[in-house]
Amino acid sequence: MAFKVEIDKDACIGCGACVAACPDNFEMDADKAKVKNAQAEEEGCNKAAADGCPVNCIKVTEV
């Protein structure tokens, strides 16, 4: 199973919650969050990051 992890950068408010929830796969890039690996082997903490995003701009989809 594999997962695609995406951030809608236009919607991101740069709060850092995703980085706190999932430092393995999210980092800050200036004032926006960035996904380190858009193709994840496991859902892992990516779901926690998506669930915790206050503007719901992280999408984790099974591919």
Residue 55 as a binder of ligand SF4 (CB under 6 A): the answer is: yes
Residue 5 as a binder of ligand SF4 (CB under 6 A): the answer is: no
Amino acid occupying residue 37: N
For residue 35, the minimal CB distance to ligand SF4 (Å) is: 9
Cα gap 32→41, rounded to integer Å: 24
Q: Are 21 and 49 in contact (CB under 8 A)?
A: yes
**Cβ closest to ligand SF4, residue 2 vs residue 51:** 51
Q: Could you give the 3-state DSSP secondary structure of residue 38?
A: coil
Binding site for ligand SF4 (CB under 6 A): 7, 12-18, 33, 53-55, 57-58
